[in-house]
Amino acid sequence: MRRLFNFVDALRKVRLKLSVQRSNRTNGLQNTHMHGSKGYSLGNGKTNTDDQTEFSLVCNDQTEEFDDSELKNEWASFQKKSKIAIQKKDKCLKKRVGQELSPLAPPPDKNILWQNLKEVLLVCGGQKEPFSQTEVGQGQEQLIGVLEAQRFVRDIFAALEVPQDSASDMADALIAADYMGHRSMGIHRLPAIAADLLNCTVSAVAKPTIQKENDALALVDGSNAPGPVVATFCMDLAIQKAQQVGIGWVVARKSNCIGMASWYACQALEKRLIGLCMSNAAPTLVPSGGSEPILGENPISCVAASEHEQFLVDFGQSSCSVDQLELSYCNDNLKELPPALALNESGEQETKDVAEALRAQRFYPFRPTYKGFGLAAMVDILCGVMSGAQYANQLRKRGIFSTENKPYDLGQLFVAIDPRQFCTTFEDRLADFQHLLRNAMPCPVGCKKQIMAPGDKELLHMQMVDKEGGLRISPCTLGVLQELADTLNMKPLQMFKEDNTF
């Protein structure tokens, strides 16, 4: 998992750069327009108007990374490239000094932005035809630098009034999904997240709080904060407890969609812990013999690693991932569904029509269906029933509009386990376990497929991204991102360049 750790480190460096950049902008405004006012908050309860002091406080134990000459040059290059964008944003900020703005206030061009988002979400929901190649550009994937993608996503969230720390958590989760090959949970989800922030279904400024806890257990109230914010908070808490007593078991309620579950489970690996993550979801699965969607896909992820090995599983309980289906449909890559995956809008018969399946939101669990449905039910008990969150068809269905801005109130489970409490040679045994899986008897002659252990698929995709130097973004997603940048008057997403690699 060293490759994943390097990826996390790269994202952290971008956070440090943006923190210093924001400090420089804010200090300039304070000196010009805000004499006598309080200093810029550092996120730790302290304020400061000196750039170098904030630089040290923000970096904490990672300050030594900036002593490296290569990184200093990189930082200087970053400042030079950002100078024009900073000046433009300074002008915008100066106009807003002294104005009383609601934390959830939408951007000034809310109506235009909402219309663009609505167009995209109608396609994702099967209400409109897929985008044609002329609508989304050249009709082929483009390569985007990982750090450039993270910068752009952060800027989107910042334009939607998401605080800096929360925007970082949200951006990291989306970029990580694309990096690890779970593209349907990556940047593709940005329009749906933006819509929830825009209509205040999700509170951009809320922070999770601990309701109850002891040495090993905790109950967290997500306060309707963005899902990645809640999940990062809960996983950090679980890791702390596991380091102290061997296990941390944290459940959350009043949360929102967290995206790729394995991203949070992987955060336990740096501490040599096993990570588990589960979440309930909006109802899309019909029970065996039924036609009404009762349970969500309810993903499960479990991650463990040794020095040279990784074990990673991340899967939902549906026979067909709804998010993957949306991504394929939007890019017009899927004309027809295989049989026995979905029901039509009335629930009376099966359908192979992709658009109708997206509109109906009635999917079978993986087969045998009673086992897939049973596993989804187990996740809902651990995440929804036990946490005090909504569960089963009490949860709000997937969709574009929420007339009452009703929160999702999802429930989630985050677990960190110290395997050395049980077996001091766990990592060696895990490496041997993965070796046994990969060296199983090969397929019959003529089959060239490589034997893959759980986690190999993600590793191969990360290697591919590193080799190519960036993420491949689908034409539909790229077109949507360009529209968002234009609407929000942001620096557009730059195509791959050599200095965007990490």
pLDDT tens profile 212-232 = 999 999 999 999 999 999 999
Buried b (16+ CB within 10 A) or exposed e, 254-290: bbbbbbbbbbbbbbbbeebbbbbbbbbbbbbbbbeee
Spell 388-414 as b/e; 16+ CB within 10 A means b: bbbbbeebbebeeebeeeebbbbbbbb
Which of 18-27, 149-158, 168-177, 232-241 has the least mean pLDDT? Answer: 18-27
Arithmetic mean of pLDDT, 460-477:
88
pLDDT in tens, 180-216: 999 999 998 998 898 888 888 899 999 999 999 999 9
pLDDT of residue 448: 65
Distances (CA, A) of 85 to 21, 97, 370: 11, 19, 55
* Cα diameter, the chain: 78
Q: What is the DSSP letter of 446?
A: T
pLDDT at 383: 98
As given in the structure block, the two tokens for residue 387 are 């946490």
Question: Where is pLDDT greater, at 469 or 254?
Answer: 254
pLDDT tens for each residue of 301-334: 999 998 888 899 999 999 999 999 998 888 888 8
**Containing H/E element for 235?**
helix 227-245
What fold does the segment set 207-316+371-458 form as a domain?
A: Ribosomal Protein S8; Chain: A, domain 1 (3.30.1370)
**How many whole angstroms separate alpha carbon 213 and alpha carbon 210?**
7
Angle between helices 2-33 and 146-159 (to 10 degrees): 40
pTM: 0.79
Query: Contact at 8 Å (CB) between 391 and 313?
Result: no
How far is it, in rounded angstroms, from Cα 303 to Cα 271? Answer: 12
How far is residue 143's CA from residue 188's CA, in Å, rounded to a whole number? Answer: 15
**CA dihedral for 491, 493, 499, 502, sign (positive or negative):** positive
Query: Domain spans of the chain?
Result: 1-100, 207-316+371-458
Q: Are 311 and 430 in contact (CB under 8 A)?
A: yes
| pLDDT attached to residue 402 | 52
